[in-house]
Chains A and B, each alone.
Chain A
């Protein structure tokens, strides 16, 4: 139990690290949000699962926290994305080497 919990904590930390690397490497805000929410969500959930395995009597609170993260995280991401979309920021496109795409 202890070992499984530790493994999940480690996986969670790893995904949070990946989210950070994604934030640094991605070319524009939309893609940074992608990296941040995706990796951040699984990172947080995995951390919570790890804690639940180590402290099983906390399951109810941890479940509630997970629920709130799952509801609020995407809303926050979409709100930021919508705001920059309305301001008129266009998403970064690949340099047009292949596949002619229509003009925006």
Chain B
């Protein structure tokens, strides 16, 4: 099989579907352990069972995770994305705070469209969420590869190209590292 892109050190690479379920299982298990009072045998066992139930119950939706690129560089891209995201989040908050406090309320709101190169539902959701959380932009609707964005400070005459560059391009570059 195509063994050249399998990054996991597992002896035999499981088929994609199984790998997704495994990913769901491990994420849920990790969540359980994070919420557990303390890590002991009882919690480990209960968590293993609960994670199994959740994995089975959510099996029809596990396809969402097929967009994940499990390459060695993916965690690095994820970290870079998180760093970029938090920087943008803080900038967004200071920017909106300034507008809210300014006596003249300096806003130029408008609806603009941005275009994305991400094809997976998960990637688009992540991009739309990132847009909502950052500088004066709010995802309103999504239609195929166009995201409708409410922009609090839209320069006059902004078109698809400039809006895409200003709003989405930065996130997209980082998300593309670990999602399709």
Contacts and interface: CB of A to CB of B under 8 A. Distances in A.
Interface string B99-118: 01100010111110000000
A25 B90 CA distance: 21
B107 A31 contact: yes
Of A25, A71, A78, A85, chain B has the most CB atoms within 10 Å of the CB of A78
Contacts of A92: 109
Contacts of A63: 34
A71 B108 CA distance: 27
A33 interface: yes
A41 B157 contact: no
Interface string B142-180: 000000101010001100000000000000000000000
Interface string B65-83: 0000000000000000000
B158 to A, nearest CB: 10
Contacts of B139: 74, 78, 81
Of A22, A34, A92, chain B has the most CB atoms within 10 Å of the CB of A34
For the residues of A in contact with B, the DSSP-based class is helix
Nearest to A30: B150
A81 B150 contact: yes
B110 A91 contact: yes
Interface in B24-78: 31, 33-35
Interface string A67-98: 00011011101100110011000011110001
A25 B100 contact: yes
Given A21-B100, A78-B139, A98-B156, A91 B129 contact: no
Given A34-B136, A64-B34, A71-B129, A91 B109 contact: yes
Contacts of A26: 100, 105, 107
B24 to A, nearest CB: 15
Interface string A14-32: 0100100110011110110
Given A31-B152, A61-B35, 10 more contacts: A30-B138, A30-B140, A38-B92, A41-B133, A60-B33, A78-B139, A81-B138, A85-B111, A92-B109, A101-B156
Identify the 3 closest CB pairs spanning chains A and B, nearest first. A99-B156, A74-B132, A42-B93
